[in-house]
Structure 1
Amino acid sequence: MNKITLLCFLALSLCTSHANAAVTLLDKDEWKISMGGFVELDSIVDSTRSFTEVEGNSAVSRDSVAGQTGRTQFSIRNTRLAFSVEPPEFESWKTKGYFEFDLLGFDPAPGTTNTEAAFFNNPSFRVRHTYLSAEREGWQILGGQYWNMLGWQPYYFMPTVQVAPITGMLYGRTGQIRVTKTVTMDNNNTMQAALGIMRPPQRDASLPGLEGGMRIAFGNRTAGFAGGSTAPQKNQPLSFGLSGAVREFVTPQSPLAPTGDLTHVLGYAGVADALIPVIASSDGKDPSNTLVFGGEFTTGKGYGDQLVGYTGGLGSPLNSIATAPEKNMNLDAGIGGFDSSGNFQLVDLRTFNAYFQYHLPGTCRTWFSGGYGRLYSDNINTMVGATGKTSAGNFPYDKVQTYFANWMHDVTKQIRVGFEYAFSRTEYGDAYVAHNNRYQLSAFFIF
C-alpha cells in the first residue's frame, strides 16, 4: 500500500498548476485549422508482469516468475496530438481532413538493445487516424484510417481510466472507404445506416472486408456518459446499434503437397450495442445526477484482429505441419489456426461487456464507473501453432475476463484525474487459471 499511496501523491501533485492551450490555429477566409489532444501520465501497479499500459485481450502470465511477481510502470505513451483542416464549403459539401497521432509506438534503431528506459522515455510517433470526410444533406463519405465500423465505434466504448481497450471490447482503426446516411426524425431522434469497404484482414486473400450496420438514437432521453478516460463529460442519448462484418481468408489446399490451389474460408461477426439512460438528465443538457448502463455482445469467427491484444496463445506465422513446404500462412495471430492434422479453421469467438456510469449531482464534475468484459472461444483448444500446446507444454487460452471500477474528476476544464482498480482472469486450455490486480492513477491535460 505504501507504493500506491506514493503514486497517488505524485500524480495528484501534477494537477496543481493551471494551463491554457490554443485550439483554433487558423480561422480566416472560411478556412479553419484546429489542434487538439491531451497530455497523459499513467502510474500503474500490477500484481503480475503480464501487461504494459494496455491490457487489451492479452493473457495473464502463468505460474512463472512473470505470473508470481508484480511491476510498477510510469508512462506518458498514450499522449495524443490531433489536427483538423476544414476548407470553405463547395456546392454545399462540408469537407475535412483529420490527422491524429499518439506515442504508443516503439521502434528502436537497428542493432540497438531494446531497453526499458528507451521503451518508456523514447516512444515513437504513431498514426491513429488519418482520413478525409465529405458531408452533405445527411450523407457522409469517409476515406482513410478511422474506427472500425463493427460495434459502431466509438459510441459504446467502456468507460475505463486505463488505456483502452480492455477485455471483451471491440476497438481498432483501419483503412476503409465508408458511406453513412443519417436521417433526423421528430423529437430529436436519429437513425443511421452505414456500409464500409475495409482493409483486408489477410491481404493474400485479395478481397477487402465488408462491415455495415444500423443505429438509432432517441435524443429526448439522455444521460451523462464519458466513454473513456479523456471523453468530455456530456450527455449521450438512449441508443441501440446493430452491426456486422464479412471477410474472406485463404489457405493452401494441400500444405504437404502444394499445387497452388487454395481453400477459401469465410469469416463473419455480428454485434449488438446499447446505451441506456436509467436516471435521465432533467433538462437534456446537464449530466449531473444521471446514471447510464451500456453493453455490447459479439459472436462470430475470424475477427480476433478486432480485439486488441488477442492471440489466444497461437503464433504468427501460423504453422500447420512442420515439414510441409507451405507450412506458414500469412495471417495475424488470433484469427485462425491449424489442428494437429494440418486442417485450417477460424477461431470461434464470443464477447460480452456491460458497464455503468453515474455522475454526481451539482457542479462537482465527478463521476464513477464500473463494468465487466468477457471473451470466450470454444474451439481454440483444438488448434496448435508456434506457441501452441504442442510447443514446450504451452496451452492456448480460451477465456479472458476483466472487472473494473473507477473514479474520475475534472479539476478544471483542462485537467482531469482518475483512479481505477481492475481484476483480470485468464483460463488456459489445460484448466490453469491466472489472475492480475491492477491499480492505476492517471492525470490528463486535455485541449
Structure 2
Amino acid sequence: MKRGLTSTTEFARAPYTVKIGDDKSPWKISIYGFAEFDVMNDSTRSYSDVAQSNVIARDETLAGQKGRTQFTARNSRFGFKMESPAYAGITALAVIEGDFMGNQPPGVSEYAFFVNGTFRLRHAYVKLLSDVVDVTAGESYVLFAQQPFFFPCSVQFLPVPNQVLHRSTQFRLSHTFKTDPVNIDVGVAAVRPIQRDSSLPEGQAALRLQINDWKALHTPGSLGTTADGAAIGVSGLVRGFKVDEFSAQPKGTQTETGMGFSVDALVPIIPVPNPDTRANALTVTGSFVVGRAIGDLFGMQSGITNPPLPNPTNAPNPPAFPSNVDNGMVIYDASGHLHTIDWRAFVVGLQYYLPPSGRVFVAANYSQGESPNVAQILDRSLATRVYKRQRYFDANLFVDITPAARVAISYQLTTQTFVDDATARNHRYMLGIYYLF
C-alpha cells in the first residue's frame, strides 16, 4: 500500500492506494474515509443526533422545555474506489461507500441506537469515462443542485435545514467541455421514480460553468477542504405521481406533477493563487431552490400527512388512508383533491481561512425555507404539527491539528413557524473530532 502527497502544502493529503499489475497500466484500489466523534447539546428534545429539517417540539410541550445531550460516532465513514486500466479509450471505475447512520428497528434502546450503529449504503456506482461521454450507473448524489460541489461548510450533519441533499439510484450521461479559461459541465439523468407506482423515472438535467483560474477554497460539510474554480450552476427536475384515490378502498388514482429548479454558486471573494494556498481565503457558497413536491430533497416532510378519511357513521376506529406515496410531497385536502406541497428555499454560506497557514478557519451559514401553500391545503387538525417556515443559522470554528486530525465547534439556531403561527426554536451546541484517511 502506497500513499503519496500530490500537493506541496503542509496539510496536503492523498488517498491510500494499492496498485496491482503492470506499472504502466495498473489496476488501482483506493481506501478513504474518516472516524468521527460528535457531541450535541440541544435546548429541546426534538432531534436525535441528526437534526436536518425535523419538526421542533413546541414550547407548550415537555419536550420543548427540556434539553438533551448526545454522544455519537455513527457518522464515521469508509469507502473504496476501484479503477481499471483504460481500454479502447474507456476508463472504468467503481465506488462503494457507507457509514453507520442507517435506520434501526422501532423501539430500539438508546444504547443500541448509539453504540450499535446500522451500516448504511451511501454510494455504489459504476462509471465509464471517455472523451465523448461519461456514464454513471448506480447510487450517488443526484444532479439536482449539483451535489456535493456547492455544499456549505458546517459542523452540522448535512444537510443543514433548508439545504438540498439527496442520493438515489440513477443512470446518468455527462460531459465536461474543457478549455483553459473555463469548463462547462452538462448532464442528464434518469433517476429512481420518487413513487414506484408512478411507473416513470424522474428526469433531471444540470449545467455548470466553472472559471478555472479564479480559485475558491471551500470545505463541503466539515471535511474535504479543496480549491475549485468559481462556478455557477443551474439544474432542474420533473417527477410524476399517481396516488390512490382518497378512500379506504381505492378504485382509481389521481395524478400530479412535481418539478424543481435550482441555482447554485461558488464565489471566491478572496481567491487563492493555487490549491496549495489556504491563508486569507474567503469564499461564499449559495443555493436557491424552488419547486413543487420536492420536500424529500430537503428532508422537509416530517409532520405533513393526509387528513383522516371521512367518518360519517362516527365509528370509533375509522380506517386510515392507505397512501401509496411517501409523506410530505403530495397530500389530499379534506375534500379529496390531490395537491403538491410547494417549497422555496435558499442557503448562503461564508467561510474564511485565517493567516498565516489556513489551519484555522471559520464558517457561518444562514438558510430559510417556506411553503407558500401548505397552510391553505393542510387539514386544520394538523396545524400544530406542521411548520410552514423554517430559518436556520450556524457559526463554526475549525482547527487542523495535523494533516489527518481536525477539531471543530459550532453553534446552531433553528426556528420554525407552524401553520397555526406558533413558533418553536432549538439551540444546538456541537463538537466534532475527526480523523481522515
Tell me whether the two structures share a fold, i.e. TM-score over 0.5: yes
Which of 130, 133, 141 pairs up with 1:139?
133
Distance 2:250 2:72 in 1: 48
Query: In the alignment, what sits opposite 2:3?
Result: none
Q: 1:137 to 1:79 in 2, by over 3 A?
A: same
Letter in 1 for 2:194: P
Deviation at 1:305, TM superposition (A): 1.0
Gaps of 5+ in 1: 1-19
Secondary structure of the 2:119 match is strand
Distance 2:278 2:405 in 1: 18
Distance 2:422 2:341 in 1: 20
Within 5 Å, which residues of 2 pair with 1:330-345?
A: 330-345=324-339
Query: In the alignment, what sits opposite 1:59?
Result: 55
Query: In the alignment, what sits opposite 1:37?
Result: 33
Q: 1:115 to 1:298 in 2, by over 3 A?
A: same
Distance 2:104 2:397 in 1: 34
Query: In the alignment, what sits opposite 2:45?
Result: 49
Within 5 Å, which residues of 2 pair with 1:6-21?
A: none
Gaps of 5+ in 2: 1-12, 312-317
Deviation at 1:237, TM superposition (A): 1.4
Within 5 Å, which residues of 2 pair with 1:52-131?
A: 52-63=48-59, 64-108=61-105, 113-131=107-125
Letter in 2 for 1:97: A
Is 1:215 aligned to residue 203 of structure 2?
no
Asked if the contact 1:360/1:367 (under 8 Å) is kept, the reply is yes
Asked if the contact 1:299/1:351 (under 8 Å) is kept, the reply is yes
Which of 218, 235, 241 pairs up with 1:249?
241
Distance 1:373 1:413 in 2: 31
Letter in 1 for 2:55: A
Which of 291, 295, 299 pairs up with 1:304?
295
Asked if the contact 1:320/1:339 (under 8 Å) is kept, the reply is no
Deviation at 1:23, TM superposition (A): 1.6
Q: 1:440 to 1:259 in 2, by over 3 A?
A: closer
Distance 1:178 1:325 in 2: 42
Which of 412, 423, 428 pairs up with 1:422?
412
Distance 1:296 1:408 in 2: 23
Query: In the alignment, what sits opposite 1:398?
Result: 388
Within 5 Å, which residues of 2 pair with 1:238-277?
A: 238-252=230-244, 255=247, 258-260=250-252, 262-277=253-268
Q: How many pairs were matched up?
A: 415
Secondary structure of the 2:100 match is strand
Structure 1-normalised TM-score? 0.88
Secondary structure of the 1:67 match is helix
Which of 314, 323, 333 pairs up with 1:329?
323
Distance 2:294 2:207 in 1: 20
Asked if the contact 1:138/1:182 (under 8 Å) is kept, the reply is no
Deviation at 1:333, TM superposition (A): 1.5
Deviation at 1:264, TM superposition (A): 2.0
1:369-403 deviations in Å (ceiling 9; x for gaps): 0011111001112344xxx6425x73421011110
Deviation at 1:224, TM superposition (A): 1.3
Asked if the contact 1:389/1:396 (under 8 Å) is kept, the reply is no
Once the two structures are aligned, what percentage of the paired residues are identical? 31
Asked if the contact 1:220/1:284 (under 8 Å) is kept, the reply is no
Deviation at 1:356, TM superposition (A): 0.5
Asked if the contact 2:56/2:425 (under 8 Å) is kept, the reply is yes
Asked if the contact 1:419/1:439 (under 8 Å) is kept, the reply is yes
Asked if the contact 2:217/2:275 (under 8 Å) is kept, the reply is no
Letter in 2 for 1:221: W
Letter in 2 for 1:32: K
1:70-121 deviations in Å (ceiling 9; x for gaps): 100000000001011111211111111110000001434x9xx511111000
Q: 1:213 to 1:165 in 2, by over 3 A?
A: same
1:116-168 deviations in Å (ceiling 9; x for gaps): 11100011111000000000116210000010111000011111112111111
Distance 1:442 1:271 in 2: 30
Letter in 1 for 2:39: S
1:236-262 deviations in Å (ceiling 9; x for gaps): 2110000000000012457488543x3
1:16-67 deviations in Å (ceiling 9; x for gaps): xxxx998224443311111110000001111111112221112211121111
Asked if the contact 2:204/2:235 (under 8 Å) is kept, the reply is yes
Within 5 Å, which residues of 2 pair with 1:356-395?
A: 356-384=350-378, 389-390=380-381, 394-395=384-385
Deviation at 1:327, TM superposition (A): 3.3
Asked if the contact 1:33/1:83 (under 8 Å) is kept, the reply is yes
Asked if the contact 1:258/1:326 (under 8 Å) is kept, the reply is no
Q: 1:166 to 1:367 in 2, by over 3 A?
A: same
Distance 1:322 1:299 in 2: 33
Letter in 1 for 2:77: R
Asked if the contact 1:140/1:179 (under 8 Å) is kept, the reply is yes
Query: In the alignment, what sits opposite 2:7?
Result: none
Deviation at 1:410, TM superposition (A): 1.1
Letter in 2 for 1:410: D
Distance 1:259 1:283 in 2: 63
Distance 1:162 1:149 in 2: 23
Is 1:225 aligned to residue 218 of structure 2?
yes
Distance 2:92 2:66 in 1: 52
Is 1:442 aligned to residue 435 of structure 2?
no
Which of 151, 156, 165 pairs up with 2:159?
165
Asked if the contact 1:60/1:434 (under 8 Å) is kept, the reply is yes
Distance 2:413 2:94 in 1: 40
Letter in 1 for 2:228: Q
Deviation at 1:213, TM superposition (A): 1.1
Is 1:432 aligned to residue 422 of structure 2?
yes
Letter in 1 for 2:331: G
Deviation at 1:235, TM superposition (A): 1.5
Letter in 1 for 2:264: D
